Amino acid sequence: MSEIKEKNNKTVVVGMSGGVDSSVTALLLKQQGYRVIGLFMKNWEEQDDRGQCTSAQDFDDVALTCAHIGIPFRSVNFVKEYREQVFAHFLEEYQAGYTPNPDILCNREIKFNVFFKKAMELGADYLATGHYCRTQNGQLLKGLDPQKDQSYFLNAIDGSVLSRVLFPIGDLQKQEVRAIAAKHGLPTHAKKDSTGICFIGERHFTSFLSQYIAAKPGPFKRLDGSIVGEHSGVAYYTLGQRRQLGLGGPGERWYVVSKDCEANIVYVERGDEHPALYCDELTANEVSWINGPPSVFPFKCQAKVRYRQADQACELELLEGGRLRVRFHQAQRAIAIRQSIAFYDGERCLGGGMIEAAGPSYFDMGKAVH
């Protein structure tokens, strides 16, 4: 179970998004005897088709929920920090042809950094969020709901903050969270979960990205060099992608197997199990360890190269500059460069890094491929 902190006269600031998870987080802490303050974080400013700010509904839901629970709430604006520390990086990565994960960067730079510091400035003893994770003795553990565990997204946070962070719903299943919200009449009990990247919302991803990155059409090619279609721009595709390629006839399943950004080529092949989709090792840089690195390498552990992937047995070899070579016991499918890899020892998240290169691959064109 997650650690139970001393509640007497302790203040907890809850990061509230307007969703059911953070709403139940605040409710449970209030019931446990903490002094609770709701804090809404505004990270994005954009108007919808009706000229309304897209975060206005979330803010209203936070206000209604806090009033229902009987706790005060405040709002903070981190739009500038988010654009400079998360969104700018997001665009740079896509422009270079990579597929970044802004949620991990947001957790490291915003939620558990500037937002955490703001909570402490408000006199908080702890910060709490609605993540499906747990803590124990300053370590980060997986949430007990395997379908909702979010430790992958927290693999890059500074472990020193964990002693002052609470994850009250990490011991619960999602359906239990919904049931608690409904039982207590929380305004968000039936609200749909947010999906995808927060600043994109329910919009079409390619349409959103095209507002910032100019489309540069080029050829879809097979590995033998034959052209099978035209793509909209290498930035819009990621390794392993099947949907929205517009290739082949009914029943044909085409996948992105590589990209040559310099030549503006997206390589595709047919078949769910094409060998070009698989490799058994990678190198990672920008490595961070939540509670410090292993004392001895090579080091055996488990890893995920994407959210909700089952843990994969692997061995880590330390390279120059703190980089890692990760050798998997079984070949992995669609390892995307500049996505995150998270390392685990059973239930404990050890840390993570950015995927720098994947190989040996099925083919080698003599150029960097992503």
Verify whether residue 349 is a known catalytic residue.
no
SS3 for 182? Answer: helix
Residue of 66, 106, 301, 314 marked active site: 106
Distances (CA, A) of 32 to 8, 15, 27, 114, 262: 10, 17, 9, 27, 57
Contacts for 342-345 with beta carbons within 8 Å, 24 or more apart? 342/151, 342/152, 342/155, 342/303, 342/304, 343/155, 343/301, 343/302, 343/303, 343/316, 344/142, 344/151, 344/301, 344/302, 344/303, 344/304, 344/311, 345/301, 345/302
Verify whether residue 198 is a known catalytic residue.
yes
Running DSSP on this structure, what letter comes out for residue 323?
-
d(CA 292, CA 5): 24
Please report the sign of the dihedral spanned by the C-alpha atoms of residue 258, residue 264, residue 269, residue 270: positive
SS3 for 363? Answer: coil
Helices (H), the chain: 20-31, 56-69, 79-82, 88-95, 102-106, 115-121, 174-183, 205-210
Running DSSP on this structure, what letter comes out for residue 19?
S
Residue of 53, 66, 133, 198 marked active site: 198
Task: Give the distance, in angstroms, between the CA of residue 99 and the centroid of all CA atoms in the same chain.
Answer: 12
Task: Return the active site residues.
Answer: 106, 198
